[in-house]
Amino acid sequence: MESWFHNLKGKYDIRDGWVGIDYSKSLLEPLEFKGTFMHEVSHALLSRKEFGQATVEMMRCLEDSEKFDEEIKSTILQSFYNEQVFTQEGLATLLQFLGMQTFLGESRAKQWATNTLPTDYHQRLKQFYFVLESSKKYRDLFTSKVRHIAMTTNIRKDMRTLDLLSDSQKLLNYLKQPDNSPDQRLRKLIVGLRANMGLLNKNMEIIANRCEVSLYKPPTKKDLADNLTYLAAYTKHPTVFSPEQIGNQVEDSEIISSYSSNLIIGNLNMDFEHTSEAIFNIEDFLFYASRIKVLFVSPNIGYLRNKDVLGELIGMPCEISFAALLNDGTKIITSLSFQKASEIINSQLKETTVLIKWGGYDVEKQKLFWSDTVRKPDLIIFNYPTDLSQYLDKVMLARPKTNFKYINIPLSAGHPASTMLVKEETDTPLYCLNSVANSVTTGILEKLGDFNSSSKFSEVDLTNYKEHINNLFSFWMGLSIHIDWVKSMIDKENVYFRV
């Protein structure tokens, strides 16, 4: 259990707390984009509640623990998932549906749900149809109060006081108890509120009491610190936490606003871990060199584990990872040393589009951090507008006389998201950011427009860089590698294949 995601249109990463929307799945569907965003942000809101926070803390504890075998770890996390899946997916789908209803009306929204949602999601949503019969006031009260009551168990206090990690079976039994399971709590709330929606006018204590659900007081900062100390005792790094280290609760409105500005839009279906061929002999990897269209280079790719063992297999230190997309869409991966990586990128792969994430490039020195000799990357991907804005500030400070080329391309007509491409005239990499419009993106465009003689990309500019841009759309956006996206975008009427 690493994330809440569905048909890979969107994803909420439980451990690290980021929200992502798949580019290709929402390319021509602005309304679907908005609905998916609300669904994933709902997971973020639920995951900030008591049981959601306990889930995150348990994940981190088990990742760093040697006191449980992998089977027990998996069983514990699966149990956490099982006891909140209806709450998470049911309420998230309800909020998504209410958003779609605003744009489509109830009848068309129900048709959308029937035609679009997977069967299990549709069945969960149907259990909330009684909410739709009430006014907007009651719908809003339901979504805000019910998610809080359902997810506010006493788990982080009980974890320590009942010493639940001393016996994994004890923890598993605890999670299945009606008052400790968000799903069982939610089902009681549905029964009570279906019979009397007027209860939502009462405070949450009365609502919970009438629905025969215990509503616990929020844990204090001392409770939370004590729980983290308790969990840390089961890891390789025991630590004593203090109340001063515990942050303040963030309001729901702030969470929604934050994710509007910090949303990853890209290829959520990339999945190199499960859909690529791992090649441990470098010569075998280079057999495909002429067919590699895009090479993603990273010193820290999470799916490469057991680096010492891998180092023995490849015959060199496992310092950097290659993830390659071939001209037929096939994916291959390998790992190698910094020195060997530099040699290959500069020779056998000198014509290949090299792509990195923004943290790997030294703006001031205009080079990759891990090598003084490797050629510069062709593409640099940014997750968030603030990352690109700060990056550009550094460039402008380091080279105040430089000029930029830039363009902001909507995903489609009326779409809230767009792709921003920026290139410094005196440097090789093309910067890429997918984002929704907000004050930061507006600020970036204004900053670029006012800086020296910077100008927008012309059609000629786009054509000059179309090989890299097409590869960007194939790799990071998940679009077909066989389409000439730049030529098709410029033409606007016809679709062209790459030659």
Domain ranges of the chain: 3-265, 266-491
**pLDDT, tens only, 68-101:** 999 999 999 999 999 999 999 999 999 999 999 9
Report which of 314, 302, 231, 237 is spatially closest to residue 272, judged by C-alpha positions.
Answer: 302
Greater pLDDT, 305 or 24: 24
Please say if the pLDDT value at position 258 is more than 90: no
Which residues does 355 contact at the CB level (< 8 Å), separation at least 6?
294, 295, 296, 297, 377, 378, 379, 380, 381, 471, 472, 475, 476
**pLDDT, tens only, 419-477:** 999 999 988 999 999 999 999 999 999 999 999 999 999 999 999 999 999 999 999 99
What mean pLDDT comes out for the span 243-250? 91
**pLDDT, tens only, 273-318:** 888 999 989 999 999 999 999 999 998 654 455 667 777 777 888 8
Work out whether strand 353-357 and strand 10-13 pair parallel, antiparallel, or are unpaired.
Answer: unpaired
Helix (H, G, I), strand (E, B) or coil at 490: helix
What mean pLDDT comes out for the span 380-394? 96
What is the structure's pLDDT at 7? 52
Question: Left, alpha or beta for 438 (phi > 0: left; psi -120 to 50: alpha)?
Answer: beta
What is the structure's pLDDT at 181? 98
What is the structure's pLDDT at 317? 87
What is the structure's pLDDT at 304? 52
What mean pLDDT comes out for the span 270-275? 85
Please say if the pLDDT value at position 4 is more than 60: no
**pLDDT, tens only, 150-161:** 999 999 999 999
Greater pLDDT, 90 or 250: 90
What mean pLDDT comes out for the span 38-54? 94
Burial zone of 446 (CB within 10 Å; 0-12 exposed, 13-18 middle, 19+ buried): exposed
Backbone angles phi, psi at 422, to 5 degrees: -135, 140
Please say if the pLDDT value at position 43 is more than 90: yes
The two three-digit tokens of residue 108, written as one number: 């068309």
Length of the chain: 499
What is the structure's pLDDT at 314? 78
This prediction's pTM: 0.91
Please provide the average confidence, as pLDDT, over all residues in the chain. Answer: 93
What is the structure's pLDDT at 303? 47
What is the structure's pLDDT at 2? 57
Distance CA 408, CA 405 (A): 11
| DSSP category for residue 25 | G
